Structure 1
């Protein structure tokens, strides 16, 4: 999610082919513009007695409700050694594989996102897993490669081929700081290229993305990509987070177009959301992002954790109310 501050608020309250070719396999994955959602909280919510109603107030399977809005893909995060916190833990690879199987059985594609941490990593924070914290660069590179390989092998053994693999989360400043920070570009690139190479060994046809936040801050985007590309960084898709609303949407779509043309990889808008109390505004922003990114060959748009609702979480950038019904924000996926 864009900015650790919003997630920190939550933590406290809760204690389509692209215009640029990827190669034939990647083009096949991107033949249709993707509408997606991150619902990584779903198993923990269910375990705590939460459920979902559709727009008419009828209790229904969450996957079925999401499909009614045209959603065809689910984003799932995974952490290395997470806690048991319902909101800020879970999502180990074992749990994530089980959730990915549910997505597969529901006919949904899966975007698997590695945070390379034990809990949230985002634009403001990139902490390595505790088990890696004192490793040298060479040790961390080997540990990361083993972790990615073990994780993807579990997914493969579980009968799931991901539509996309995301190596890092909002990694403007690099990953696993300080070893893989952007200020150490060769090490950052070495870690990420290791993750890329292993991903391709296990799932050769699955596109791999890097993920940056805040495309309104082009200097941060340029710093990362100039360092990464300049050191031989490998990636197939550029994932971007933006939670922009109102008059801020169109300028950011323009920046997304520029990022795509400058760095030669198609864009996927992997995180979007907005205040629950401004559902109509969030709906309109979602429509603009979908139509705008479609317009320059973007691959898709994902809503981040729309199905979370209070009191499970105090995070308010979701699209379900405490009455368990979807808000008008979800209508942004329709007819666009």
Structure 2
């Protein structure tokens, strides 16, 4: 075959591939609009001298490289790359974007290995399975899994077979995923600020949530979105007003900021057909919401804070704070409903060991302040002194009777008996089973099955960069 025919063949193949590539880009444009990418073939591959000759094997090898490269360029990781330039040459493939430059040798198998890693893989559970029963949300919060994707962590089942976390959880009856989101986590005093433990990327921000939401929906699992309304973790010790809202002068302005942030995030999720089934308005808000401001002594974990001025603080220890907190809850709820009436809104507190606190909080918010949420959620941790699942039953039953128009969930639980430890005594599954038996409760979410801490032990064991399902931990959840 002469060089002219070879060039014509490459031209034809390249045009076909570009057509397919552009069609694929266009098919996503309604939900993920992206600037067009300029694809260039280097002269060392595309332009050949008249004296060059290639046999059929060499031609096939070159075509295979181009095909693999185009498949790589359209992988899910780069759906939203802006101002990108993809350049192919016979010796390397360079991906240039506004944030990174990655060079990968096309003469090795690393390209295909990378493109088929768990970071880009559509969950296997999305294919050929009957729909799950969503009459009860048997859930898990796997927010941190997003961070493991940066080093391509792989998951293995109890038989040490590689799988994805969605397929694995579904095989043990889990049907729902909870993920948290922060407003601007890479800002100063945010959890992903430079120098903090999580500074590799701003996991939990809008862009990462949009990407991970696609995986949840591909897995055909229910989706609970946990809005922290902070740049850092929001919990009983800290409810830090995010950087972008610290300029506001009064509660009306802050209410509007909450509404627009929530509306924007939910609208983006709806536009790509990944609307959550439930949205949590604040995280562990027993003391209130949007209470604190950072100081020069505040660290990555949000310690060493000061109270915000009373005029904007949602500190429920004061009358003005109660009114402000209710105003902020209502703003978040309204934003969710303005995007999707069918999406349920959730409020969330902890410390169920103190029944008086639970009853005070719910009376204030639902009866006095008239906040109209759909679902009430609780954290229930045996290791934090909350008691055992059997001891929660009386409180939970009394609340369902007192508030018959509310639905309830356990938004977070573990069965740990001490730091990083669990007795494998069935407490975890008992939480799920007992809560499921109470009329009015619609779900329970295991908190972070890949993490160990004060709350107890994980469901997985780490081996190098990979996670292996612990057989004892999953045995409790084994489908009967």
Aligned counterpart for 1:292 among listed residues 409, 434, 442: 434
Residue 180 (structure 1) aligned with residue 320 (structure 2): no
Residue 250 (structure 1) aligned with residue 351 (structure 2): no
Counterparts of 1:140 and 1:30, CA distance in 2: 39
Aligned pairs (5 A) from 1:218-229: 218-229=355-366
Unmatched runs of 5 consecutive residues or more in structure 2: 1-131, 187-191, 292-307
> Secondary structure of the residue that 1:252 maps to in structure 2?
helix
> Do the aligned residues in 2 keep the contact of 1:170 with 1:213 (CA within 8 Å)?
yes
Counterparts of 2:263 and 2:353, CA distance in 1: 34
Residue 64 (structure 1) aligned with residue 64 (structure 2): no
Aligned pairs (5 A) from 1:138-177: 138-177=252-291
Counterparts of 1:42 and 1:149, CA distance in 2: 26
What is the aligned residue count? 303
Aligned counterpart for 1:260 among listed residues 377, 393, 400: 400
Aligned pairs (5 A) from 1:178-257: 178=308, 179-182=313-316, 183=318, 184-229=321-366, 230-244=368-382, 248-257=388-397
Residue 320 (structure 1) aligned with residue 460 (structure 2): yes
Aligned counterpart for 1:269 among listed residues 400, 410, 423: 410
Q: What is the Cα-based RMSD across aligned positions, in Å?
A: 2.4
Residue 254 of structure 1, CA deviation: 2.1
Q: Structure 1 residues 279, 254: closer, same or farther in 2, change over 3 A?
A: same
Residue 326 of structure 1, CA deviation: 1.9
> Do the aligned residues in 1 keep the contact of 2:351 with 2:380 (CA within 8 Å)?
yes
> Do the aligned residues in 1 keep the contact of 2:326 with 2:365 (CA within 8 Å)?
yes
Residue 316 of structure 1, CA deviation: 5.4
Moved over 6 A (4+): none
Q: Structure 1 residues 279, 63: closer, same or farther in 2, change over 3 A?
A: farther
Residue 318 of structure 1, CA deviation: 1.9
Residue 248 of structure 1, CA deviation: 2.3
Deviates more, 1:87-96 or 1:229-238: 87-96
Unmatched runs of 5 consecutive residues or more in structure 1: 1-28
Residue 102 of structure 1, CA deviation: 0.7
Residue 173 of structure 1, CA deviation: 1.0
Counterparts of 1:199 and 1:248, CA distance in 2: 34
Counterparts of 2:348 and 2:266, CA distance in 1: 19
Q: Structure 1 residues 334, 254: closer, same or farther in 2, change over 3 A?
A: farther
Counterparts of 1:329 and 1:292, CA distance in 2: 18
> Secondary structure of the residue that 2:444 maps to in structure 1?
strand
2:180 aligns with 77
TM-score, structure 2 as length reference? 0.59
> Do the aligned residues in 2 keep the contact of 1:253 with 1:289 (CA within 8 Å)?
no
Residue 174 of structure 1, CA deviation: 1.1
Counterparts of 1:46 and 1:106, CA distance in 2: 17
Residue 294 of structure 1, CA deviation: 1.8
Residue 333 of structure 1, CA deviation: 2.8
Q: Structure 1 residues 261, 288: closer, same or farther in 2, change over 3 A?
A: same
> Secondary structure of the residue that 1:322 maps to in structure 2?
strand
Residue 35 (structure 1) aligned with residue 178 (structure 2): no
> Do the aligned residues in 2 keep the contact of 1:307 with 1:318 (CA within 8 Å)?
yes
Residue 334 (structure 1) aligned with residue 478 (structure 2): yes
Q: Which has the higher strand share?
A: 2
> Secondary structure of the residue that 1:278 maps to in structure 2?
coil
Deviates more, 1:120-129 or 1:79-88: 79-88
> Do the aligned residues in 1 keep the contact of 2:410 with 2:444 (CA within 8 Å)?
yes
Relative CO higher for 1 or 2, CA cutoff 8 Å, sep ≥ 6? 1
Say which one has the larger Rg. 2
Q: Structure 1 residues 329, 243: closer, same or farther in 2, change over 3 A?
A: farther
1:111 aligns with 224
> Secondary structure of the residue that 2:461 maps to in structure 1?
coil
> Do the aligned residues in 2 keep the contact of 1:167 with 1:208 (CA within 8 Å)?
yes
TM-score, structure 1 as length reference? 0.83
